[in-house]
Amino acid sequence: MPAPATGSAPTPVNPRSRVLVASLMGTTIEFYDFYIYATAAVLVFPQLFFPSSDPTTALLSSFAVFGAAMVARPVGAVVFGHLGDRLGRKKTLVVSLLTMGIATFLIGVLPTYAQAGWLATALLVLMRLAQGFALGGEWSGAALVATENAPSGKRALYGTFPQLGAPLGFIIGNGLFLVMGALLPSAAGADPSQPSDAFVSWGWRVPFLFSAVMVAIGLWVRSRLVESAVFARTRESGGVQRLPLATVVRGHGKQLVLGTFIMLATYVLFYLMTTFSLSYGRAATDAAVPGLGYDYTTFVLMMIFGVLFFAAFTLASGPLADRYGRRTVLIWITAAIMVFGLVWVPLIDLGTLGVVLWLVLGFTLMGMTFGPMGALLPELFPTSVRYTGSGISYNVSSILGAAVAPFIAVALWEAGDGSPWLVGVYLSAMAVLTLIALLLGKETKHACLDDGEAASTDDATRTRAGSPAS
């Protein structure tokens, strides 16, 4: 008798609700930790850890340390990718979350420059590097848990859930800073754009310390996961690679490069809208490098309103990418990002309504470009090197985009005498590079994520082809 077909995949061991919650919860916590550092890097770190007579120099120093974590992220991607591709997704995700949580908590108890001199700054850099190292392993693991357990035809939708952690982390982190600012208001007659003495003294530490509570919840959720069925079949079939990094570089170099540049515009837009915009929005209109002159609370509330669109369109992008393809959707969105970068000044010149529209459009585009990445990058690589490959692409792009974006943006803002038009041009230029990568790449919508299933199907097909008719 002919050999029976063996290509049908078993039901995923992890319930779908648990997969979605675990991928969402972990990235929410990781991005929360990252955002509270970004906010503190603008609000208090320049004066607490980088004293300088020039406020711009202090801010640039703070942003330089912020960007240092992006350099650590590819290292984390390699280390955690190696563990994830050899030992499994679950253990690696638990370790990355725990590493991020410990580093964030320790930032909340660090001495300041006034208390410990440059030792305080060095410790801050060390903790920031640890944050970047942890996030380097977090994203790809969460994306793999979501996409490798997704039902047929809904992989991009499932892939948006770890992406949704970015806007949720932003809202929770900045919301907590707003609460602390309201509880510790500036004294009467003080500059409302600047935090109060109590906030500078101890209030900024609370969001970092609160991270411990969120991490405990995240660890509990992830401890209930079982290993990805897709990875388990690869391990059982002997497909686990001894050195995933060497394998992915040698056999999938083109995918690494394309994935890196496909993420570039997303990263630049992400950090311009979340980090640079906070500096630009709060800078006084009569400062040496003038900004919009909003007080902190007002502008953060405007940003949170924009981030609601980020969250909504992150989810909306999933069904669109599942229906029309990841590449098609991203080509159109990247073209829109190019146009958006060129209309910054006309929008902002419309006043408060224009600033809100600028934030809404920027965060909407952010959701539409960020959402499909949760499926596209994992789909570029086979199971045996998927954690390593997707993680390296995602995190090397963080160096080219996120690590330098706030620093370049401040320099261009200064070069434009307070106008952000050069910053917008910079965003458009990065979008051109992403568009080229998308045009050179292929659609991944129909890629098979299960190497074991594909091999079994091929074996069954060859068996049937070679068997005599019954």
Q: Give me the pLDDT at residue 192, please.
A: 61
- pLDDT category, 193, cuts 50, 70, 90? low
pLDDT given at position 458: 41
pLDDT digits (tens, 9 = 90+) for 293-313: 998 889 989 999 999 999 999
97 vs 436, more confident? 436
Q: For residue range 139-170, what is the model confidence (pLDDT) as tens digits?
A: 888 888 888 888 888 999 999 999 999 999 98
Task: Give me the pLDDT at residue 388, please.
Answer: 93
| Mean pLDDT of the region 231-253 | 85
For tokens 């994935």, what's the residue?
Answer: 259
Q: Are 157 and 150 in contact (CB under 8 A)?
A: yes
Question: Residue 164 corresponds to which tokens in the numbers above?
Answer: 């949704």
Backbone angles phi, psi at 450, to 5 degrees: -105, 100
pLDDT band at residue 65 under the 50/70/90 scheme = confident
Average pLDDT, the chain: 85
Residue 3, pLDDT above cutoff 50: no
